[in-house]
Amino acid sequence: MADPILVEIVEGTLASVEREVETAIARTARSPMIRDAHDFRAGIHDVRLRKLTGRSYSALVQPVVRDFPVGTMRPGDVYFHNDVYLSEGGIGHLPDLCVTVPVFHEGEVVAFVQAFGHHDDIGGAVPGSMPSHARSVYEEGLMVPPIKLRDQGVPNEAALRIMTRNSRMPDSLAGDLDAECSACLMGARRLGELFDRYGRAAVEECFDAIIDKTTETFRRELLSKVPEGVYVWEDYAEHDGVDEPRLHTQRITLTVDHAARSPLTIDFTGTSPQAKGPINHAGDYADGVFLKKWLAPVLRNLADTPERMAELDVNEGVVPLITMIFPEKGTLLTPVFPAPTNARTFVILRLLGVLAGVLAKATGGRMPADQETIRYTGVHGADADGVPYLMREVLGGGSGGRWYADGEDTIHVVPDSRNIPVEFAEARWPFRVERLALACDSGGPGLFRGGLGYDKHIRMLRDASYMSIADRSILSCWGVNGGLAGRPFRVEIAGKEMDGLVDDHPVQAGEVIRIRTTGGGGWGSPYDRDPRAVAADVRDGKVSIAGALGDYGVVLDGDRIDEEGTAQLRANLRPPAGRFFDRGPGYARLSGGRTHAEVDDL
């Protein structure tokens, strides 16, 4: 049995090494997407390929060991891959490049340090390697199966030359890869010192204890709150870049059996066929182990307090608790090569909400409303010197209202990621940011309001092309337990509304790109929200006076609340019985006029 004091030391060391690797990457990378937006992650895995750290998600080591057996690895080796279909589900689209470094102790591999992140460009049909109208993965960029990028410290110059030759941003790509390799090698040295200090047997006992603690904590504290039974819910992506907008279904049938070794069974049967366009996600590899760790953070919302929720890590310990059942090949989650995948965020982000929705049905609403907190927007063109540039930003949005609090404003689903600082952007690219604010009224009305999205205005100083990979431009983030949906994503250029998927819409010098990102759904009836909270939102610019009146039934006379008028108006506005889910007006447009889905009924 592991020494509990040593378990704490090892656990703290793992977290410290993970943070040190990420800090080193952030300080030495070249591209804005990695260095400034922080769209990358590090992870530590043991020799049994189990993820040990739990602050964030990471890719998988499985594809590396599949192609390069552990016994053939040597100190100084660095492995690389980005091939979606040969990554065992750990890589979602080609711009996500993954570096893996083995950790050695007494000549044997004992662990792995890994980093993967979203890079500027890996080739393909459009700048940024995310063609929104792609019909094949061959249009999306250079596919690299697991290869040895450094052999006992010696760089694979041929592979690097091929990759940089295919990139429109070769210097950034080379700099980012060098930063990631160096950071992971440093992390491997740090972990090797841990094994040297305490011995392999003792450290591996601690690894087992760390993972077992997560398994038992999730089983005892979280899953015990979900009543046994079978629950079904579904949500939708709205477009795939090729076909006209329609409902692309992602369905979960959740079976809860506390006596089973895996108390949760997640069945994706009923998910729509694979799309022609790039919204597919290859999730059915390695028994869905990536998806299990991707979805498990949703379960933390079942914790007793927000503080306890923040303490819970998601490592390999969640994997034994979940069984996944995938439909046959040829669906959004089981695409057949070479189906395109660059906008697979539409599916994997939606699955977070589907699991939250089905758990809301099971627990009487003790889950947050919906959020859509990632989309790519940007411009590309040439600067005054004729040098090509790409500005791409991962803008966040509002999170869903919760059973105890409002949603958060302008959050990002990738931990520690952020929007690109205005000062940096204006100094580097030929545009001016004229507004960066919260989008008033974007959060879904509710007893607890949804978080607000961004309101960002960019005035171009030179002709350029606008690009966007965004969902929720028709469908809204749904409200729950009487809460209403938030406002969808919207972009206007010279008064013209853009689609969510755009590769190269021309923008003339002097024109303004107006971006409003999604607001989170509301939780609980807006007519139960304290009028003083509504008045405070109006003072803060989060809700308009018209929104206070129409969405919350609060009558304001300047800063004063008309309590009698509010009571009368709310009595007239309150519906006799609100639906448990509110999908917003866009759902009717794509569903043939229906206001709710069959699975919305409790």
How many of the other CB atoms lie within 10 Å of CB of 437? 12
The pLDDT, as a whole number, for residue 579 is 82
The pLDDT confidence band at residue 26, using thresholds 50, 70 and 90, is very high
- Spell out the alpha helix ranges (H) of 36-109: 62-67
How many of the other CB atoms lie within 10 Å of CB of 384? 8
Which are the contacts of 378, defined by CB distance < 8 A and separation ≥ 6?
128, 390, 391, 392, 393, 466, 467, 468
The interaxial angle of helices 4-28 and 170-198, nearest 10 deg, is 160
Confidence (pTM): 0.96
**CA proximity to 433, closest of 447, 422, 419:** 422
| Tokens standing for residue 574 | 């309150």
CA distance 367 to 363: 8
How many of the other CB atoms lie within 10 Å of CB of 256? 17
Q: Give yes or no for a cis peptide into 75 (omega within 30° of 0).
A: no
The pLDDT, as a whole number, for residue 50 is 98
The pLDDT, as a whole number, for residue 559 is 85
| Residue position matching structure tokens 């392999």 | 200
What backbone torsions phi and psi does residue 389 show, to the nearest 5 degrees? -140, 160
In sequence order, what E strands does 154-238 have? 154-155, 229-237
Q: Are 121 and 467 in contact (CB under 8 A)?
A: no
CA distance 440 to 53: 38
Asked if residue 172 has pLDDT above 90, the reply is yes
pLDDT in tens, 513-555: 999 999 999 999 999 999 999 999 999 999 999 999 999 999 9
> Mean pLDDT score of the chain, rounded to an integer?
96
pLDDT in tens, 410-466: 998 776 778 888 999 999 999 999 999 999 999 999 999 999 999 999 999 999 999
